[in-house]
Amino acid sequence: MRIAVDVMGGDQGPEVIVEGVLEALKSGSGNFEICLVGNEKKIVESLELCQGDEKDPRILIRHAPEVVDIHESPLVAIRQKKESSIGVGTRMQKKGEVDAFLSAGNTGAVVAFAQHILERLKGVGRPAIGALLPAKNGGTLLLDVGANAECKPHNLLQFAIMGSIFYSHIYNKDNPTVGLLSIGEEATKGNSLTIRSHELIQNESSSGILNFIGNIEGQDILEGEADVVVCDGFVGNTILKFAESISGFVARSLKELTQDSLQSKLGGIFWKSSLREFLRRMNYEEVGGAPLLGLDGVTTICHGRSTAKAIKNAILATKKFVDTRVNEHIQKQMIHFLKAGFKDQMIHLKAPWDRLKNLSETEGRRRWLKGIQSRGKPGSKG
């Protein structure tokens, strides 16, 4: 197995990415190779700083002369930065040179390049980014967390199916529970999207495809009421950003409180180990990255401020994604899904390029890329 890693992505520089790669290779988690994609000179320098060996047969280097800036438009990136580390790494996967691609770079650009180059699995309307949040059940998969700011009911139904398959194979749990995020447990609560989505997901659950437990509310996520929680990307990204802030807020608050008196300081000594365990559970580094589900390839999106530990864990999670053949299981279910009679409702799932196929290639591509720009970044209109 070979995984391409974008060395130029991330806020902390190539050295941190390379350090994470070396830690993953030292983990003893099976045989795999890493292809470092980016500026070759900087990659070699980073390997030297991290005491890595560029002659290690498990390490390959692919030069990519361009870099997509973290604030750069996905439209600009696809048009003008085809030789960026994101573009090169994604094309390597399309050509079969690598089995997966991982990046801590511009999320919108990663999603845009992946949709443009890898294409969707048959029957999938839109891809979705899944993020594992800490919960009493060990972890809850929340999707979408940023690929689609606006969705339709059939999109959420497909997110539920893809999330359920991913969770069952990655976390070894048969028939995981699926919940729809809403403002109340009743099927009639929520906006038109959640009400209609509830109906669709419930119908598929009755056929045995999903273990749907109905609507859940925000407080149920950390309680582990559902293994998989489905929502649109606008809501999901907001929840994800809030969840990422919890551990830092708690740590800072407790530090301030323990400075008030001698009694507080002594108490802090006793619960320090418990606090450390809490922060570990809430730390995104433990998961590392978020999978982009629904495309004909394996793409992992990492946080921009990822540490070496986060990169290492993201690489190992990506390896498991490939090993367990999640995409094959999703594709098989989607084909069954189409044959089972959902085809009439799938007419809305045509990709922007499909809808523009009657236009000239130049005009069609121009309009399609314009659409990518508007929905490429999490939180923007999708």
Domain CATH for 258: 3.40.718.10
- pLDDT of 336 reads 79
* Final residue of a structural domain among 240, 264, 285: 285
- pLDDT of 101 reads 97
Q: Please indicate, yes or no, whether residues 235 and 361 belong to a single structural domain of this protein.
A: no
Q: Please indicate, yes or no, whether residues 140 and 271 belong to a single structural domain of this protein.
A: yes
Q: Please indicate, yes or no, whether residues 257 and 367 belong to a single structural domain of this protein.
A: no
Q: Please indicate, yes or no, whether residues 166 and 259 belong to a single structural domain of this protein.
A: yes
Q: Please indicate, yes or no, whether residues 280 and 143 belong to a single structural domain of this protein.
A: yes
Q: Please indicate, yes or no, whether residues 244 and 382 belong to a single structural domain of this protein.
A: no
Q: Please indicate, yes or no, whether residues 140 and 276 belong to a single structural domain of this protein.
A: yes
Q: How far apart are CA 169 and CA 159, in angstroms?
A: 16
pLDDT digits (tens, 9 = 90+) for 320-348: 999 999 999 999 888 877 766 554 444 34
- pLDDT of 289 reads 87
Number of domains in the chain: 2
Q: Please indicate, yes or no, whether residues 82 and 164 belong to a single structural domain of this protein.
A: no
| Domain, as residue range, for 87 | 1-124+294-382
pLDDT digits (tens, 9 = 90+) for 202-237: 988 877 789 999 999 999 998 889 999 999 999 999
CATH of the domain at 308: 3.40.50.10950
* Final residue of a structural domain among 261, 285, 309: 285
List helix spans (H) across the chain: 14-26, 40-49, 74-80, 85-94, 107-117, 153-170, 192-206, 220-223, 233-257, 262-270, 272-282, 308-323, 326-337, 352-355, 361-375
- pLDDT of 275 reads 63
Residues of the chain with pLDDT under 70: 257-287, 339-382
* Final residue of a structural domain among 234, 265, 285: 285
- pLDDT of 354 reads 42
Q: Please indicate, yes or no, whether residues 260 and 144 belong to a single structural domain of this protein.
A: yes
- pLDDT of 349 reads 40
Q: Please indicate, yes or no, whether residues 43 and 140 belong to a single structural domain of this protein.
A: no
Q: Please indicate, yes or no, whether residues 138 and 276 belong to a single structural domain of this protein.
A: yes
Q: What is the pTM of this model?
A: 0.81
- pLDDT of 353 reads 38
